[in-house]
Amino acid sequence: MKIQLSTESFASAAVDVLAVAVRSKHVTDDPNVRAIDKAMGGILVPQLKDQEFKGGEGKTFSMLARGRVKAKRVLIIGLGDKAMGSRLHRLLGVIASRSSQSKASLALIAPDLEADTLRCLSEGLITGTYKYTRYFTGDRKPKRELKKLVVLGKGKLTPAAREAVAQGQAVGETVNLARDWVNCPPNDLTATVLADAAAEESKKLGIACKVLDKKAIEKLGMPLLLAVNRGSKEEPRFIHMTYAPKLERGAAKPKKIVFVGKGLTFDSGGLCIKPADGMLTMKMDMGGAATTIATVLAAAKLGLPLEVHGIVASTDNMTGSDAYKPGDVYPSRDGKTVEIINTDAEGRLVLADALAYARDLEPDYLIDHATLTGACMVALGGFTAGLFTNDDGLRDAYQKASALSGESFWAMPLDESLRDQLKSQIADLKHTGSRYGGAITAALFLREFVGKCAWAHLDIAGPAWMDKDHGLHPQGGSGFGVTTAVELLRALSAS
């Protein structure tokens, strides 16, 4: 679905829904509302006042159109009192699309035709249309879907404006891909299927993608990944995607950013088995992998002047007869030996080998996304990711990027006083500490494998999965982290 950019009059837009945003303090004084009211014969403003619509953030008002307005329905979207910015532009697009999902067409009046506005609006429109319907049949299958999206603006449509719309759409599409992978049931999304999907999408964009099977992983040397895989009948996969921009002769070597994703396609907890209700959403334990793959795809679609790698170690964590056990000791790719304490803390093991591999690529920045700990959710709730880093500059850059994206990250400490919890009597490291500060000790364990790289660990256990629609994100797989990573890459491109 292509987003159309148009300067036609809002009144002549023959669509199912005509949407416009308003601020809390100016609902009935908003110029667009006044213009629509006039075209509808003066019936819109009285209805807004009668319903006491205040324009609170995320609130909507809808009514049938009248008079000279050709749209079937008018939708007013509240944006609260905050200054308009990237996050609110995205939210505007999401709410407009989400409110029109049972319709066939939508026209959204843009606040302006600035490139950043159009990019974020377009991204929001695409992500707002998202619904996972792959397994619906019969009456459950959607009867209608939003097929036409129009952004209306005043002024001249420049090539830069059209490019901004295309960029927003490209990022929105990659976010939706990540959501599809997270939502897919674990019987259909194995490590092999995820790797094949990454390879297929990479091929479309000319991204190099190397996929290693179990024998190749053994040869490469990833004992911790293989340990987690021991209880499964499904083979593991290791994915290495590489986007390299085309450079003019004599151009400086671009910055290298390596993203690493935890790819647990299902987590039973292994022999330290989870309770039944704790397993119900564990298909989402590859959310970090989905974010990593989608980020590299987005970088390629946008043609960013950076070298961007995506590293994914993928398996499921099962209870087969050869499953790894508490008390086992395994070597790592890094060389350090690890004593297994709890088989339900498998994510940090597969990440350890993946980070050691990624470290050897000598990146300027090394960033991992992982649905790693319930402890991070206890600390920050279900909507905020934990941000751990050994580099203050990278922390500041990520927080600036998250402010633009509208995704919530909170800087967490790498508390050295907790490091002793990882000391083992029989190996170099234990892979877990106590449950107090569990997200921090998990990050401290990962830090053992990154060397001197400027590194950030993003614990997205909470926001990778939504129990219901929340802000920018839909129920189910959220695609959390992609837009923030893209904003970070934009900033690094400009620096």
Q: What is the mean pLDDT of the chain?
A: 95
Length reported for the chain: 495
Asked which of 105, 130, 154 is the last residue of a domain, the reply is: 154
- Asked if residue 244 has pLDDT above 80, the reply is yes
CATH number, domain containing residue 141: 3.40.220.10
CATH number, domain containing residue 280: 3.40.630.10
Please indicate, yes or no, whether residues 268 and 224 belong to a single structural domain of this protein.
yes
Please indicate, yes or no, whether residues 333 and 360 belong to a single structural domain of this protein.
yes
Please indicate, yes or no, whether residues 143 and 223 belong to a single structural domain of this protein.
no
Q: Are 484 and 387 in contact (CB under 8 A)?
A: no
Please indicate, yes or no, whether residues 32 and 139 belong to a single structural domain of this protein.
yes
Q: One of 255, 274, 400, 419 is an active-site residue; which one?
A: 274
Please indicate, yes or no, whether residues 219 and 361 belong to a single structural domain of this protein.
yes
b/e per residue 335-366 (b: at least 16 CB within 10 A): ebebbbbebbbbbbbbbbbbbbbbbeeebebb
Instruction: Looking at 154-257, list the stretches that DSSP marks H as alpha helix, in order from N- to C-terminal side.
Output: 159-183, 191-205, 214-220, 223-229
- Look up tokens 């909170």; give the residue: 410
- Residues 165-217 have pLDDT tens digits of 999 999 999 999 999 999 999 999 999 999 999 999 999 999 999 999 999 99
Please indicate, yes or no, whether residues 42 and 81 belong to a single structural domain of this protein.
yes
Q: Residue 486 is part of which domain span?
A: 170-494
To the query of whether residue 274 is one of the catalytic residues in this protein, the response is yes
162, part of any domain: no
To the query of whether residue 447 is one of the catalytic residues in this protein, the response is no
pLDDT grade, residue 221 (50/70/90)? very high
Please indicate, yes or no, whether residues 199 and 344 belong to a single structural domain of this protein.
yes
Calculate the alpha carbon distances from 243 to 57, 195, 205, 296 in Å: 38, 16, 9, 7
- Asked if residue 372 has pLDDT above 80, the reply is yes
Please indicate, yes or no, whether residues 150 and 179 belong to a single structural domain of this protein.
no
Asked which of 154, 178, 195 is the last residue of a domain, the reply is: 154
324, part of any domain: yes
Instruction: Of 474, 406, 471, give the one whose Cα is nearest residue 182.
Output: 474
Q: Count of domains in the chain?
A: 2
Please indicate, yes or no, whether residues 437 and 315 belong to a single structural domain of this protein.
yes
Asked which of 154, 178, 213 is the last residue of a domain, the reply is: 154
Please indicate, yes or no, whether residues 185 and 112 belong to a single structural domain of this protein.
no
Please indicate, yes or no, whether residues 473 and 330 belong to a single structural domain of this protein.
yes
- Asked if residue 83 has pLDDT above 80, the reply is no
203, part of any domain: yes
Q: One of 179, 262, 333, 348 is an active-site residue; which one?
A: 348
226, part of any domain: yes
- Residues 439-465 have pLDDT tens digits of 999 999 999 999 999 999 999 999 999
Beta-carbon contacts of 59 under 8 Å, excluding residues fewer than 6 positions away, are 53, 77, 78
Instruction: Looking at 206-331, list the stretches that DSSP marks H as alpha helix, in order from N- to C-terminal side.
Output: 214-220, 223-229, 276-279, 287-302
